Structure 1
Amino acid sequence: MAMVGLFWIAEGDVYVGAKPSGLAPGVRLAPEGVVTLGDGQSGLHLWEDVNALTVADVPVKSLMRQVGVVKDVALGTVREMTLPLGHGLMGKAPAMMAVRVESSDGDHEMAAYVAAAAGYSRTEVDLSHALLARLTEGAATMATTLAAMSQWGRAWEGGSPRSAEREGLLREWVGQTLSGCPCP
């Protein structure tokens, strides 16, 4: 499993945001369409009906966000060490993003958990938005792009790649070369 931009790729499955478990909300990009998962938002939006696919409320990495994450981890560690057994911590849920599908039958908004605790880099956000737009360009483009992402996920071993490699993968999947990308 690995995070690349706004995507979580687990073996051959591609998710927007974190891969959901149980009844948690999530969005999977499947060959047949955009699959919404979780309690209260299960469904399928066929690619042939999808006109646009966007993500809003994406946390962008900043120094303040990183400091906040470090502070939360430190406070959580201190609490776990000092509270008597049985009290445990009240877990803080990860942030949510809104995945929006514009289709022939209207606009739909689904929720997905953010996978990056400190937020995503601006470049990865921009490249991810470009990739989402590319998925709606037509069946051949969508199938080729999703197949490349899935193939990479099946072949990849280990955690998430480093930032430069993630950006390179996103550029490749968008269909731009590293040297020719006008992206930031």
Structure 2
Amino acid sequence: MAMVGLFWIGEDAVHVGAEPTGAASGVRLTEDGVAVLGAGGDRSWTWDEVVRIETHDVPVRSGVRRLASMAFDAALVAVTGDGELPPAFTVEVATTGETVLADAHAAVTGGIYLPAEYELSALLLRRLAEGGADIADLLAWGRDHAAEGTPPREEREALLRKWAGA
């Protein structure tokens, strides 16, 4: 699997944030539609039913502030020996009949996203929900490249622009 923006991309599914394990919650995007996993039971909708996907409270900082936060967190873990889960954020899935909120965990190293990747990811989520982008493009990339791991920042941003049609 590989991280591109807010997306954790594999061969058969794309997760908003980290892929949930165990009882953790999350949001999975497939060619069939959108699924909210975890707390409260799994729910799913076809792409035709989804009208909006938004994220809230995503940790975003500039490159310098991101590095400073990561250094502080590493020092804290070294001193206390107490590591934490990556930061959580909220994914809002609105359908023709309801709005559901789900927690997702940051998939990016250090748990903090750069502004450009976050903004392009948010645009791509909007375009996916509106039908202006196709999850099949992300999945095709995942089948061909996810095993190679997360690409460099410039490539991630270029992929997000391409997928979102930006």
TM-score by length of 1: 0.81
- Distance in 1, Cα, partners of 2:16 & 2:28: 6
Aligned to 1:76: 77
Which deviations, in whole Å up to 9, do the C-alpha atoms of 1:86-129 show, x marking residues without a partner? xxx4x412211111112111221111111122411111111111
SS in 2 for 1:120: coil
SS in 1 for 2:39: coil
Once the two structures are overlaid, the 10-residue window that deviates more, 117-126 or 62-71, is 62-71
User: 2:94 aligned with 1:102, yes or no?
Assistant: yes
Q: Which letter does structure 1 place at the counterpart of 2:88? A: M
Alignment of 1:119-130 (within 5 A): 119-130=112-123
- Distance in 2, Cα, partners of 1:150 & 1:25: 21
Structure of greater Rg: 1
SS in 1 for 2:148: coil
Q: Are the counterparts in 2 of residues 65 and 118 from structure 1 also a CA contact under 8 Å? A: no
Alignment of 1:20-169 (within 5 A): 20-62=20-62, 63-80=64-81, 89=82, 91-116=83-108, 117-138=110-131, 141-142=132-133, 145-156=134-145, 157-169=147-159
The answer for unaligned runs of 5 or more in structure 2 is: none
Shift of 1:79: 4.3
SS in 2 for 1:18: coil
- Distance in 1, Cα, partners of 2:40 & 2:47: 21
Q: Are the counterparts in 1 of residues 12 and 30 from structure 2 also a CA contact under 8 Å? A: no
TM-score by length of 2: 0.89
Which deviations, in whole Å up to 9, do the C-alpha atoms of 1:133-152 show, x marking residues without a partner? 111223xx45xx21110011
Q: Which letter does structure 2 place at the counterpart of 1:125? A: Y
Aligned to 1:14: 14
Which deviations, in whole Å up to 9, do the C-alpha atoms of 1:6-56 show, x marking residues without a partner? 100022310100111111111100122211112324111222111111111
Q: Identity rate of aligned residues, in percent?
A: 42
